[in-house]
Structure 1
Amino acid sequence: MRGSVDMNFLFTLGELQRLVRAYADKEAARFGITRAQWAVLAKVERNEGMKQTELAEQMEMQPITLTRLIDKLCDNDWIERRGDEADRRVNRLYLKKAGRQLLGKMSGLRSELTATALDGINPADAHRLLSQLEAIKENVRNAIQNNAGEQLKKEQRYG
């Protein structure tokens, strides 16, 4: 059993992520938006007034990539940038009326995508799966942080 998990776990997880992204892109396109744009809109809705730099960090995205996405969202009149009164270099992001309306129209889409993905899986198993995935995510996050700490120690020792 262990061998098959070793061989298939990472491949299956990667393939699942790719398929879910492709499916979400296809469904979001019905609303004239990409999955990445949808993600930005949803984050701004939850944290209106957040700095563009904070959003880039949260989304683990290069600032230039996010800037292009935000430019497109501004062009479509879905969000707006407003300068920060305390710091001219800072842009804060706000949802515009059209963006709020679009998210309202799309509100059922996330549930639809989830229901399709979990078809045939009973709710108790789905909850168990979610908590197991959270545990896996935490394991990997800890491994990354520990490896970064180990690298730093090595560099200090040998640098």
Structure 2
Amino acid sequence: METYRLHGRIGFKVTRLARIMEARLEKGLSRHGITRLMWCVLSGIGLEDVKTPSTLAEHIGIARPAISRLLKTMEEKGLVARTSPDDDKRYTELALTALGLEKLKTCHVLVHDLNNHFAGKIDQGLYENFLETIDALTEGEKVQLMRL
């Protein structure tokens, strides 16, 4: 039987890095009243042109009911608006409000700085290789990440 070392396992290492990054991100975003998932919504709509709840849920990797609850919270906070073109209630389009755009701009700096902090710890070639390796490991894995 192989020697088992928890700290030598890829799952442990990747999870630890993700939690460290997530905690730092949450701390920075919380100063602006934004959660990590709210950031994902703001950036999805404002930076990546994701305009419907179902495509946003897929983009972020959460269940459709979870995105509905999240969008409701964000509407209540005045960050996003839902519209139905031509009063067709079967289709909902998302947009950022003025406050949502302001939070996007402010928090984008935090996210950028966090990424640069970790990317700056290794040389550019190793960083690009790391991203390619992560892509290779996740390729074909269609597990929904969060059900909230």
- The TM-score normalised by the length of structure 2 is 0.80
User: Which residue is equivalent to 2:25?
Assistant: 24
Residues 16/79 of structure 1: CA separation in 2 closer, same or farther (3 Å cut): same
- Which ranges in structure 2 are unaligned for 5 or more consecutive residues? 143-148
User: Which residue is equivalent to 2:146?
Assistant: none
Deviations 1:4-34 (A, max 9, x none): 7995112211222222222211111121110
The percent of aligned pairs where both chains have the same amino acid is 22
Aligned partner of residue 89 in structure 1, secondary structure: coil
Aligned partner of residue 31 in structure 1, secondary structure: coil
User: Aligned partners of 1:114, 1:56: CA distance in 2, in Å?
Assistant: 23
2:94 counterpart letter in structure 1: L
Residues 16/107 of structure 1: CA separation in 2 closer, same or farther (3 Å cut): same
Larger Rg: 1
User: Aligned partners of 1:53, 1:9: CA distance in 2, in Å?
Assistant: 32
Structure with more relative contact order (C-alpha pairs < 8 Å, separation 6 or more): 2
- Which ranges in structure 1 are unaligned for 5 or more consecutive residues? 146-159
User: Which residue is equivalent to 1:66?
Assistant: 67
User: Which residue is equivalent to 1:102?
Assistant: 103
Of the three residues 46, 49, 59, the one matched with 1:47 is 49
User: Which residue is equivalent to 1:154?
Assistant: none
Between the two proteins, the alignment pairs up a number of residues equal to 139
Deviations 1:65-119 (A, max 9, x none): 1111111111121110001327422221011111111111122112211122234
Aligned partner of residue 81 in structure 1, secondary structure: strand
User: Aligned partners of 1:118, 1:24: CA distance in 2, in Å?
Assistant: 15
- The TM-score normalised by the length of structure 1 is 0.75
Aligned partner of residue 94 in structure 2, secondary structure: strand
Conserved 8 A contact 1:52-1:90:
no
Conserved 8 A contact 1:79-1:99:
yes
User: Aligned partners of 2:120, 2:65: CA distance in 1, in Å?
Assistant: 38
Q: Tell me how large the CA RMSD over aligned residues is.
A: 2.4
User: Which residue is equivalent to 1:79?
Assistant: 80
